[in-house]
Amino acid sequence: MSTGPGDADARDGSAGAAGPGSEAGTVGAFRADVPDASTGTGADVGSSPAGLPVGGDGIFVGSDAEGQQLSLGVHRPAPYDVLLIGGLWTAQVLALRTARAGAGVRVAVETARAPAWAGVAQAGSTADARWGGGGGTGRVELFEVGRVPVLGAVEGRPVLVVRDCGMRPPRGRVRPAPWQTVVTLLPYLSPVAPRLIRESALVGVQQVSPEEAARLGRLLGLSAEETGALPGLDDGVTLWCAGRDRQWAATAPVGDEEALLGPPRRMEPATRP
């Protein structure tokens, strides 16, 4: 049973086998794409699941157990709440790829550790002909916790809010709205996790302790195989859950992401006691 990217070359965006249970179903939030290997943005090659925006909205999030490329429809006409119980690296990759998907995109990061996001903010806001949007990108803005303003998301100018607020993120003033998706990052399973899981349409889980895996198995209705795999997941591997549907994805850096963010990692120094 493989639970990580194995020996695949991380630079080409192929992460090899993403994890067990790929036969359990595919999360409706995802679609199979052929990504641009330099930007991490997807090019739609087929029909999308119901409710998934069609077009250039797909953000390349990794590969499944068969090596098929997967992208997530971040920008949606309906409110969309995402919870990631995992590492800062993955959240930063999602933010950076979203910002680089087009000039009209805005990414707002609510965080108490702005220095950790400074490189993402600069790279995600710098015009560069290598990236999408006709030679430009969106913009990444950093806000203190509780200080995110009204962002005015509309069709054509979508917003992604990333909440990096520690183990007990306060209830945010900025909520999911049409064309405004909110991703909340939890470094591990905290007391607020059950509420956030209930409120989220999509939940991503990376490597956790056996005790956390058992709790998540109950909260998410995971199979014994899925629950047992969580403590041994490789860095960059995520189990995405939407209702009863599951999708394993192994995320690897593309383009300049490894130089900017380093290799995939689950934990940051001093994240956990």
Tens-digit pLDDT profile for residues 13-22: 434 446 654 4
- Which of 23-27, 34-38, 89-93 shows the lowest per-residue confidence on average (mean pLDDT)? 34-38
Nearest to 221 by CA among 13, 5, 25, 19: 25
31, pLDDT greater than 60: no
Which amino acid appears at position 144 of this protein?
A: E
Strands (E), 167-214: 180-186, 202-205
- In this prediction, what percent of the chain has a pLDDT beyond 90? 63
pLDDT band of 27, cuts 50, 70, 90 = low
26, pLDDT greater than 90: no
Torsion over CA: 227, 193, 49, 159 (sign): negative
Distances (CA, A) of 206 to 173, 239, 264: 27, 6, 12
The more confidently predicted of residues 7 and 243 is: 243
- Which of 80-84, 191-195, 268-272 shows the lowest per-residue confidence on average (mean pLDDT)? 268-272
DSSP state of 26: -
The more confidently predicted of residues 133 and 214 is: 214
Collapse the DSSP code of 146 into the 3-class scheme (helix H, G, I; strand E, B; otherwise coil) and give the result: coil
Query: What is the predicted pLDDT for the residue at 249?
Result: 95
114, pLDDT greater than 80: yes
| Average of per-residue pLDDT across 92-117 | 93
pTM: 0.81
pLDDT tens-digit map of 46-78: 333 333 222 334 889 999 988 888 999 889 999
Q: Which domains does the chain have, with CATH numbers?
A: 10-261 (3.40.50)
222, pLDDT greater than 90: yes
| Average of per-residue pLDDT across 169-182 | 91
**176/183 Cα distance (integer angstroms):** 9
**155/161 Cα distance (integer angstroms):** 16
Distances (CA, A) of 240 to 23, 25, 80, 84: 14, 11, 15, 9
261, pLDDT greater than 80: yes
Instruction: Report residue 218 as tokens.
Output: 């109950």
Please provide the average confidence, as pLDDT, over all residues in the chain.
80
> CB-based contacts of 183: which residues, under 8 Å, 6+ apart?
82, 83, 84, 91, 94, 160, 161, 162, 163
